[in-house]
A and B are shown apart, each in its own frame.
Chain A
Amino acid sequence: MSDDDLDRRLRALPPELPPHPDRFGRVRARVDRRRRGWAVAGAGGLAVAGLLVVQVAAGLSGPPRDDWAFAPRLDTSTTRSANGHPVGDAASFCPTLPGLPMDEPRPTGTRERLVPTGVPEQVVICAYGTRPLGAEGAPPVAGVREISAGLDRLGVDLAQRPPLPGNRPCPAVGGQSTSYRLRLSYPDGAIWVATEHDPGNCAPASNGTFEAVGFGEQAAAAYATGTWESTPPGTDPCAPPDAGSWRQWDAGRWGQHRAMVPLGAVEAAICPSADGDRVVQGDRLTRLTDALNELPVTDGPAVCGSAGKGVGTTYRLVFRYPIGPSVVVHVHPGCHPEVFNGNLTSPYAGDVVRVIEELLSG
C-alpha cells in the first residue's frame, strides 16, 4: 500500500462529528474558571511572598520571632458559653467574611489537598449569621467553638475531600445558608478552611488555593455538638440518595479525580436500581475495579442525559476503604455519560455492565 493510499484512508477516517451546540459558551466558561483559579493562586502567592518578606525583614532587624514561627494553640477556654455555643471573643478571633486568613505559616501539602494528611492538633470552628440565599453583605460572626472530639476522623475526611469538579450541577433550592470557617493547627503551621451549609448542600470548600467539594452539613453538625462525625449513623450504602440534594456525605474521596476507583478499596457494594444488592471483595472486587479503571475518562461531574437508547437498570457502586470516605460510581447504561464518579466521567460503560451482571449472578 502506497503512502498516498494510506494518507487517503487516514483522511477519510474521522466520523461525522456534529458541531457542539454551545462550544463557544463552554470555552468561555473554561476561560472564566481558569482566570478565577489564577486569581486565587495569585492571591495565595502574594500572601506567601508578603509573609516571606516580613519574616526576612524581622530576621534582619531583630531577634527571631518565635511567637509566630509556628502556629500557636488557641486558648478557647473563655469563648464557650454555657450552652456550648460560644460567644466570648469570637468576633476578634474569627475572620470577617468573605475573608480567609492566609497570613500564618501554612502546613505543607495544602496545594493539592484541602488540609494536610494527618491528625490536626486543634480545630476551631467559627459560625456566621444565617442569611437568605442570594442576599448581599457580610453576615456577622455568630460564635466560635473548639471541635474537641473526632479530630482523627476530621483530619481524614477533609484531607480526602476530592477537588471540586467543573460545571457541577447544583439544585436550585431556596432557603438560608450559614458560613463556617475552620482553623486547623498542625505541628508545622495552621490553615483556615471555608465552607457553607446551604439548602442544596452544594457550596464548595476552599483553603484559598485548593477548592474542594464542600462539607457544610458536617460543619453545622460539628459546630452544634463539638464532635466531628464521619458518617451519618445507620447509613445503608445502597439506600437511595436524597432527591435533588448534592449529598456531601457521599462527596467521594481524593484520588477519584485521577482514577474512577482510587487504589485501596477493600469492598464494594453493588446497588442495582432493581432488587439484588451484593457486596464483593477480593478477586471479585479486583475484577470490578479493573473494568472501571480501564475506561477512557474525562474531567467533570455528570448529569445523565439520555442518548436515545433508553435507560434500563442502573447501578450505584459504593467502594469502601479501610479509612476515610467511600467512592461512589454510577453506571447508567444508555445515558451520556454512562459512568461517572463525581469527578470523572466515561462516555461508555464498556465491559463494566457485563462484569457487574456476572458478579450479581455469580
Chain B
Amino acid sequence: MRGEPEGFCEFVATRTGGLLRTAWMLTGDAHLAEDLLQAALARTWPHWHRIGEHPEAYVRRVMVRLQAAWWRRRWNGEVPTGELPEASAPDRYGEADERAVLAEALRGLPRRQRQVVVLRHYEDLPEREVAQILGVGVGTVKSQNAKGLRRLRAALAACERTEELR
C-alpha cells in the first residue's frame, strides 16, 4: 500500500480529539463515535493533498454525511418521540443529572435536528455553513434548529422542575 500523505499522521495524532467529541455528539455513544471518526478519516486520506488549510472542517463534513448514511442503512434503535422518557434513577449531583437529561434529549432528536443543533451550537458554525454541509437551505437549518432547541429546553425544564420538587 502507498504511504500516508504528508501531515496526515500528525493530524490524526494531534488534532482529532475535538472531532471525536463532535462524533460523540452526533452518535451519543463512545464506540460508535470512534468508529465514525475512523471511517471519516479513512475517506479523507485519499483526498488529503487537495483539502487545503482546513482539514478538520473537511473531516467534520464527511462525518456528518457518513452518519446520515449509517442512519439510513440501519435502524439504530432510537425512536424520536414527542415526550421524553421518564428519567432513570436521579443522580445526587444536579449537574450530572442535567447532563444526562440533555444527552438523552439530544439522542432523542431526529437525525436532522440533532445534526443542525450539533453543528450550530456545539461547533458554533454559521447557519449558511451548516446548510452547506447538510446540503439543505438556510430556512431548513433555522426551522430544524428551532425545533431541536425547543425540545432540549423542554427536557431541561422538566429536569429542573423535578429538582425543585425534591
Which residue numbers of A lie inside 8 Å of B, CB to CB?
1, 3, 6-7, 9-15, 17, 19-20, 23-24, 26-28, 30-32, 34-35, 258-259, 293-299, 336-337, 347
Q: Which of B21-29, B80-88, B136-144 contacts A (4 or more CB under 8 A)?
A: B21-29
A35-B121 CB under 8 A given contacts A13-B106, A23-B38? no
Query: Across the interface, which residues of B come within 8 angstroms of A35, CB to CB?
Result: 1
Question: Contact at B13–A24, with CB atoms within 8 Å?
Answer: yes
Q: Which of B1, B29, B98 contacts A32, CB < 8 Å?
A: B1
Query: How distant is the Cα of A9 from the Cα of B45 in the complex, in angstroms?
Result: 33
Q: Is the CB of A31 within 8 A of B42?
A: yes
User: What is the distance, in angstroms, from A19's C-beta to the closest C-beta of chain B?
Assistant: 7
Assess the B24–A298 pair: CB atoms within 8 A. no
Task: Contacts A9-B156, A27-B38, A294-B77 known; list 18 others, CB within 8 Å.
Answer: A6-B121, A6-B153, A9-B98, A10-B117, A10-B122, A11-B122, A15-B24, A15-B30, A17-B24, A17-B30, A23-B12, A23-B16, A34-B43, A259-B74, A293-B75, A295-B77, A296-B76, A296-B77
State the 5 A-B residue pairs at the shortest beta-carbon distance, nearest first: A30-B42, A14-B21, A347-B31, A294-B77, A27-B41
**At the interface, is chain B mostly helix, strand, loop or mixed?**
helix
Q: List 20 A-B contacts (CB under 8 A).
A: A1-B157, A3-B121, A3-B149, A6-B121, A6-B152, A9-B102, A10-B152, A13-B99, A13-B106, A14-B24, A15-B24, A17-B24, A24-B9, A24-B12, A27-B45, A31-B42, A34-B43, A296-B32, A298-B32, A298-B35
Pick the most buried of B31, B98, B124: most chain A CB atoms within 10 A of its CB: B31
Give the shortest distance, in Å, between B147 (CB) and chain A (any CB). 14
Report Cα–Cα, A12/B103, bound state, in Å. Answer: 10
A7 to B148, CA, bound (A): 13
| Minimum C-beta distance from A130 to chain B (A) | 30
**Nearest neighbor of A300 in chain B, beta-carbon distance:** B35
The answer to whether the Cβ of B68 comes within 8 Å of any Cβ in the partner chain is: no
A10–B119 CA distance with the chains assembled, in angstroms: 11
Q: Is B126 an interface residue (CB 8 A)?
A: no
A6 near B76 with CB under 8 A, answer no
Cβ A17 vs Cβ B35 within 8 A? no
A10/B31 contact (C-beta < 8 A), A258-B73, A297-B76 known? no
Asked whether B102 lies within 8 Å of A347 as measured between CB atoms, the reply is no
Given the complex, which residues of A lie within 8 Å of B29, measured CB to CB? 296, 347
B38 touches A13 (CB 8 A): no
Q: Is B94 part of the contact surface with A, judged by Cβ < 8 Å?
A: no
Chain B positions within 8 Å of A337 at CB level: 31
Number of inter-chain CB pairs below 8 Å: 106
Give A120 to B42 CA distance when docked, in angstroms: 39
* Interface check B116, CB cutoff 8 A: no
- Report whether A28 and B4 are in contact in the complex, using a CB–CB cutoff of 8 Å: yes
In the bound complex, residues from chain A placing their C-beta under 8 Å from that of B102 are 9-10, 13
Interface string of B21-61 (1 = CB under 8 A from A): 10011000111111101110111011000000000000000
Instruction: Answer yes or no: B20 CB below 8 A from chain A CBs.
Output: yes
Q: Is B124 touching A7 in the complex (CB atoms < 8 A)?
A: yes
Of the candidates B13, B42, B98, B106, the one having the most CB atoms from chain A within 10 angstroms of its own CB is B42
Contact A7 to B121, CB < 8 A, known contacts A13-B103, A35-B1? yes
Q: Would you give the shortest CB distance from B49 to chain A, in whole angstroms?
A: 14
Interface centre among B13, B37, B73, B121 (most CB of A within 10 A): B121
Q: Using CB atoms, name the residue of chain A closest to B31.
A: A347
Residues in chain A near residue B30, CB distance under 8 A = 15, 17, 347
A6 & B149 in contact (Cβ 8 Å cutoff):
yes
Judge if B110 is at the interface, Cβ distance under 8 Å: no
